[in-house]
Amino acid sequence: MKSARANFLIKVVGGLALLMLCAFIGGGVVGYLSVTNPELDTSSAHIWIIGGIAVALMVGSLAVGAVWMRSIDEAAREAHKAAWYWGGSGGMAVGGVFAILATLPAAAQWNIPSMLPERTDPAVYAATGAFGLMTLMIIGYTIVWAWWWLARR
């Protein structure tokens, strides 16, 4: 079990280092292009590079999650399955209430905080909603995961 854990850590650290290297190279390319070609619009390159890093981060997270899920024992896996379904669904249900309330005409008058205070455009509000829902799901996940183990002590 120890070697599996060590392998897992090596893969996580290695993956993060690779991601940082990609981000460094990407940043360097954008910097070089913007200096050597002042007329070049680097904003679209910026979007592509950040988008690529975001995709790599999410794919990497899934891969790390798969390796980690295989490294834990069956009871730990059951705890996470219960947490994923019941905690995640519970969090989503709470978020669903907010989503329905947000469709009411009166909601247009509500002062809803944005995750980036200096921005109030639709994209940042969509991101705020997505992160808000993810936060609720993670809270539900954590509660159910802790309950699962406490109930089996």
Partner 1 sequence: MNNRLKVLRAERNWSQAELAERLGVSRQTVNALETGRYDPSLPLAFKIARVFDQAIEAIFSED
3 sits near partner 1 (criterion: CB under 8 A): no
* Residue with tokens 């390319």, as numbered in its chain: 29
9 sits near partner 1 (criterion: CB under 8 A): no
CB of 74 to partner 1, least distance (A): 5
Residue nearer to partner 1 on the CB measure, 39 or 74: 74
CA distances from 21 to 46, 56, 124, 126 (A): 16, 12, 28, 30
**Torsions phi, psi for 116 (to 5 deg):** -120, 95
CA distances from 95 to 33, 54, 103 (A): 43, 24, 13
Q: Which of 78, 96, 102, 113 binds partner 1 (CB under 8 A)?
A: 78
10 sits near partner 1 (criterion: CB under 8 A): no
Residue nearer to partner 1 on the CB measure, 125 or 147: 147
Q: Which stretch binds partner 1 (CB under 8 A): 25-33, 56-64, 74-82, 125-133?
A: 74-82
**Nearest 10 degrees: CA dihedral of 31, 35, 37, 43?**
40
Residue nearer to partner 1 on the CB measure, 73 or 121: 73
CB of 62 to partner 1, least distance (A): 24
CA distances from 24 to 29, 35, 53 (A): 9, 16, 11
Query: Which residues lie closer than 8 Å to 15 by C-beta, 6 or more apart?
Result: 60, 63, 64
Q: Which of 38, 39, 121, 152 binds partner 1 (CB under 8 A)?
A: 152
Interface residue list for partner 1 (CB under 8 A): 1, 72-76, 78, 149, 151-153
